[in-house]
Structures are given as C-alpha cells and as structure tokens.
C-alpha cells in the first residue's frame, strides 16, 4: 500500500525550508522525491531559486525517521497518502500552483462526482440554514459531492444536510489525523466516512489545529472545486480567504446576498459589490451556473417572486438597457456610455443583480438574465 516514494516525500516535505512550491520544483527537476533526497548539495543548488538554506535539511536522517513513523501511523489508521507529483490529488486540486505536495485521505470518493465547495460563518443564522436546506433538497437529484471544512456553524450544516439527502461529502481538516477539531464533530466525521464521503488533510500527525492552518486549509477547499458558495460571512471572516483563493484559481464564486444591516451578510454583499462573487438570487439560477441543470428540469426558486414585473428606477433602467444591447459589456465601457463614475455604476449593477436582472462575469463584465 505504501511505497518508498511515500517515505521520501514525507521526509522531504518535513524539511524546515521545503514548502509545497519548492517541493514541486525539486521533484519536477529530479523526477522523484527519492532522487531529490539522494542528490548532492551541488546538484540541488543548480536549480534556480534553490539556495543552501533551502536544501540544508535534505538528507538528514531524523526526517527519514519521522517519515517512517508517519507511515506506520497511516498504516494503523487506514490513511491513504496522495502525492501531487504522481497525479494523485483529487478533482481540480492538482491544477493549483500551490497545491499540497502530500494530501492524506480517510475514506473513499467517487471521482466522477461534481465537487461543490460550500463555506460560511461559524455563527450561521436561520437564513443561512434555510438556504443550505433548500439547496440540498433541490439539487439532490444531481450527482455531486459537497466540500466543506468540518467547523461549527455553516460547515457542520453542509455536511449534515449532505448526509441527510444521501449526497456524499468531503471534510477538509486543518490538522493531522491524530486528533479532531472541534471534538464535538467526531460523530459527524465518522458518519461522513460511513456514507461514502472522505476526510482530507495536508497536515501530518504532528500538526495541531493551529490558527494559521485554517487559512492554509481554505485553499484546498477552494482549489478542489470549480465552484465555491459563500453562505454567510462577516467582514474579514475566514470564508473571505476561501473566496480569494477561488478567485485566484479562476474558479466561480457565488455568495448569498442579505440585508446590509445583517452582520453575517455584509461579507457576502461586499464580495458581490467588488465583483468577486456572483449574487445568488434563485436555486434554479445557481444550479444552472454550477452546471447541474439540464434544460428539461424545473427547479423551484429560493426567493419566489410575484408575477408582476419589477419596476426599475430611471438609473437602473438606463444601465439595464445598455447591458441588454451590449452583452458582456465591461465596467469601463459602461462608465463611458453613461458618463458616470464606476462606483455609482457598481451600486446600480448590484441592485440589478439582486433583482435578478443582471449577472456579473469575471473581469467585471455584465450580461442580462
């Protein structure tokens, strides 16, 4: 089950100056972690950007001894070791430049499922819970797997509702498999595994759930899927970092808008305002954009609207007409055609998004719905 390459990869990654990017650079050059480990300092320093300090720990027997103990731990706990350079990372994670060199896994997943990452505040409100319940209820006919972080609040709701609707789910941890944080989610983690889900972590069994690990963990949640949904978050919440990673990976980000006076909607509203997330108006629209829906399927709206036509203000109507006649028009072109500053246009576009009239695309472009 475990190979020499697993051993040398763990030893190499444990070296104090070898992060994921340097690991990838070294292994890409020498062909394997074992070759890197056995290479001379002179050979290693020939690589651009690799200096003496970076390679100072390579070959140290204490790291090899650590790796031996780690493999024993993995054997005793049915943990799979996935290596990036052997193409073993799941779904879209392998495409990320800063993807983990090693990803530890418990449980098994179906690689044919469509991964969707869903995150949010630990202090989820009834509004957020209602959205999660509705989303899973309406999307359960589709073949997908949810991804979240097994934290309290939103993450817990995502995993729990996935299981309730017989949808597999993945929990990405911010620590090694020697522990579980928060401990109150232990039963949930076991349920995830028993219901065709999995637990992932890039951290070995020596790593505790330190604060900085959670931000690092968020890049995996963002990188594993082509779509990330932000349910609720305050300004500066951890979910903002997940959205930022997803944007940097050129993945789709969706955010649930809310009242500007609601603390845990402010982060979502701000992401939408900055064009870093697409506003969620209906479950139907969300599923269509994620790529679940087929033309013949009809799904109820999250926010049913009246049959009467929404009356737009003069400003909204002016911009809406321009967007209709100029599909995928950019923010700069809108500013030129309306002779208005961009911050005013963005405010109106946000209003149109919330009304379900306009959709934001990457690169600050807009289309009518």
Query: For the chain, what percent of residues have pLDDT higher than 70?
Result: 94
HSE on the CB side for 146, CA within 13 Å? 30
Reported as a pLDDT band with limits 50, 70 and 90, residue 362 is low
- In sequence order, the 6+-apart residues with CB closer than 8 A to the CB of 246 are 117, 222, 223, 228, 252, 253
Reported as a pLDDT band with limits 50, 70 and 90, residue 347 is confident
Among the residue ranges 120-129, 152-161, 192-201, 296-305, the one predicted with the least confidence is 296-305
Reported as a pLDDT band with limits 50, 70 and 90, residue 339 is confident
Who wins on pLDDT, 151 or 327?
151
How many H-runs (helices) and E-runs (strands) does the chain carry?
Answer: 16, 12
Which residues make beta-bridge pairs with 366?
Answer: 329, 360
Would the pLDDT of 305 be above 60? no
How far, in Å, CA of 183 to CA of 189, rounded? 10
For 78-99, give the DSSP string: T-EEEEGGGT-S-TTGGGSTT-
**pLDDT computed for residue 346 by the predictor:** 78
Q: Phi, psi at residue 226, to the nearest 5°?
A: -90, -5
Would the pLDDT of 8 be above 90? yes
How far, in Å, CA of 23 to CA of 100, rounded? 9
User: Model pTM greater than 0.85?
Assistant: no
Q: Which helix (H) or strand (E) holds 279?
A: strand 278-279
**pLDDT computed for residue 308 by the predictor:** 43
- Mean of pLDDT over the chain: 90
pLDDT in tens, 225-276: 999 999 999 988 889 999 999 999 999 999 999 999 999 999 999 999 999 9
**pLDDT computed for residue 296 by the predictor:** 38
**pLDDT computed for residue 166 by the predictor:** 96
pLDDT in tens, 88-146: 999 999 999 899 999 999 999 999 999 999 999 999 999 999 999 999 999 999 999 99
Would the pLDDT of 365 be above 60? yes
How far, in Å, CA of 67 to CA of 52, rounded? 23
How much is the average pLDDT of 286-314?
60
pLDDT in tens, 311-335: 788 888 889 989 888 888 887 778 7
Query: For the chain, what percent of residues have pLDDT higher than 90?
Result: 72
Closest CA to 77 of 88, 69, 65, 87: 69
pLDDT in tens, 202-226: 999 999 999 889 999 999 999 999 9
How far, in Å, CA of 171 to CA of 178, rounded? 15
Would the pLDDT of 17 be above 70? yes
**pLDDT computed for residue 311 by the predictor:** 78
How much is the average pLDDT of 140-159?
96
The bridge status of strand 227-230 relative to strand 114-119 is parallel
Indicate the DSSP class of residue 366. Answer: E
How far, in Å, CA of 247 to CA of 76, rounded? 38
| Residue 303 · residue 337 · CB < 8 Å | no
Reported as a pLDDT band with limits 50, 70 and 90, residue 300 is very low
pLDDT in tens, 26-35: 999 999 999 9
């Amino acid at each position: 089950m475990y190979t020499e390459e697993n051993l040398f990869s763990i030893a190499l990654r444990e070296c104090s100056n070898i992060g994921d990017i340097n690991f990838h650079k070294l292994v890409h050059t020498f062909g394997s972690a074992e070759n890197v480990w056995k290479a001379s300092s002179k050979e290693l320093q020939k690589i651009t950007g690799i200096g003496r300090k970076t390679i100072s720990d390579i070959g140290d027997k204490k790291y090899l001894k650590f790796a031996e103990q780690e493999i024993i731990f993995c054997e005793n706990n049915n943990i799979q070791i996935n290596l990036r350079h052997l193409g073993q990372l799941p779904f879209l994670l392998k495409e990320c430049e800063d993807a983990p060199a090693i990803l530890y896994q418990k449980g098994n997943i179906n690689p044919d499922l469509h991964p969707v990452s869903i995150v949010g505040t630990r202090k989820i409100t009834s509004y957020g819970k209602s959205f999660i319940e509705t989303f899973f209820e309406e999307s359960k006919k589709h073949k997908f797997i949810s991804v979240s972080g097994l934290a309290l609040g939103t993450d817990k709701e995502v995993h729990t509702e996935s299981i309730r609707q017989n949808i597999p789910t993945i929990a990405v941890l911010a620590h090694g498999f020697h522990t579980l944080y928060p401990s109150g989610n232990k039963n949930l983690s076991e349920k995830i595994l028993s219901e065709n889900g999995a637990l992932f972590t890039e951290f070995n069994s020596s790593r505790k759930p330190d604060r900085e690990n959670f931000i690092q963990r968020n890049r995996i949640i963002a990188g594993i899927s082509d779509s990330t949904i932000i349910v609720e978050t305050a300004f500066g919440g951890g979910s903002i970092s997940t959205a930022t990673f997803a944007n940097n990976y050129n993945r789709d980000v969706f955010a649930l808008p809310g009242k500007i006076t609601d603390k845990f909607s402010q982060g979502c509203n701000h992401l939408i305002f900055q064009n870093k997330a697409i506003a969620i108006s209906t479950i139907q629209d969300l599923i269509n954009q994620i790529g679940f829906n087929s033309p013949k399927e009809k799904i109820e709206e999250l926010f049913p609207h009246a049959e009467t036509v929404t009356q737009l203000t003069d400003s909204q109507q002016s911009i809406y007409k321009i967007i209709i006649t100029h599909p995928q028009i950019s923010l700069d072109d809108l500013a030129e055609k309306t002779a208005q500053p961009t911050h005013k246009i963005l405010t109106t576009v946000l209003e149109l998004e919330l009304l379900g009239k306009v959709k934001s695309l990457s690169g600050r472009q807009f289309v009518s719905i």
